[in-house]
Structure 1
Amino acid sequence: MKKLLTSLFLLFSLFVFSQEYQFDKKCVSNSTRISPKIGNKNSWKSYIYFNSSNNNYYMNQRNDDSYYYITDNSLKEVIALQRINSEKPYYSYLDKKTFDYSYSEKEIGKIKIKELAEDEFLVQCFVNDDSKKTNLEVKFKLHKSKTPMIEIRFMDLGQIIHKKIYESLKERLNGNNFWILYAEVDYKNGYKFLYEFDNCEEKALNLKFN
């Protein structure tokens, strides 16, 4: 009887605490180091999965390897999975980390948005209201979409900076239904990167794990 109750409890726990994510779109994500050029490798390709009816989460796949990372902006956590290529492939839960808002790589106290052209904006970041020089600049090229913008973490910077930039950009936009075609980043330390999100295709994927 005791073993039966234990088994039932474990089964109930798996059902209650399981997580499920659905995706219907897969896009190519290209990262290119504009400057400085270092060696022969200055560009990297990965993949991003989305749910076109839910902009709260997305999933990264680095190149063609078996590791996947789900960023859930509503739960404020990143979940790591591994695809096991057995006779019946499945996704195994590895770990999860909560967003770290305890630090920021750059101090940003003021943000200005300039409209450069239709659906093209320059985000200028400053340390404070008195600063005359920017310490980070991001040029966005957007495309109108049917769904709200997904807040992708694309820069080599933490969640705080991404959150500030997205909040300022959305406040400036006429509506929130946009897709990021590319983001060109000047880190103001000699490094410039281009992040592109294109070549999207329909891709149904349903993940459920504990």
Structure 2
Amino acid sequence: MLKVSCPVNALDAQLPLLLPDEVCAPFVRRATIVLDRAVRELVGAIEADTVPDLVDRTRQAEAPWLSSNLCEALTRFHDDQVGNSVELSISWAATTPVLQEIAGAPSIRIQEDYFPRIDEVHRALRPGEEENEDTFVGTVERLDGEMQPDGRRAGEVVLALLLPDAETVRARTSLSADQYADADKAHMTDNAYVKVKGRLHPGRQPRSLTDVATFEPLWPGA
């Protein structure tokens, strides 16, 4: 269970969020309402099998509640190996009244099998992605290799790669025994990074990184 608390008046900002019924509410309150409505709309569309309609409405809206970034953030709460669901429940501060229809709304449950659909919405709302062949810097997040006949491990690892736009994406790739040994050491070393040259494919995270030409550890202080 993860609990996050944010003071209602944490930010003294007046940014344009189209919530006419909450126009006088603090920014944090309005942002939280937008989050609540966006996730409810997303889950409702999945359950009603109207995701294409939701995507079309969101694209046409002047100030949509739902965004590609929000969908991506939701997918990061899901672990393929664990197969978990996510439940979102919001408690509203009594110091700032909220509409009863919002305050009395039930928690939102995102079932495990909803996450592939959420990722579809994430990709549909995002500007077109293409394959990206480049050199990336990142960290080793998981080692899934297998023992080879020569007694050394090789195979799949999951990396967290930092892209030029400051976005971090998880990517799965396959490494040779020598590269895997370097990945293992980097994974076990604080503040160690890796530099990898390959082809990053678009799609659901962890994305696919193929044609790995180089894989080098970057040790702290080096």
Structure of higher RCO (CA pairs closer than 8 Å, 6+ residues apart): 1
Q: TM-score, normalised by structure 1?
A: 0.23
Q: Structure 1 or 2: larger helix share?
A: 2
The structure richer in strand per residue is 1
Q: TM-score, normalised by structure 2?
A: 0.22
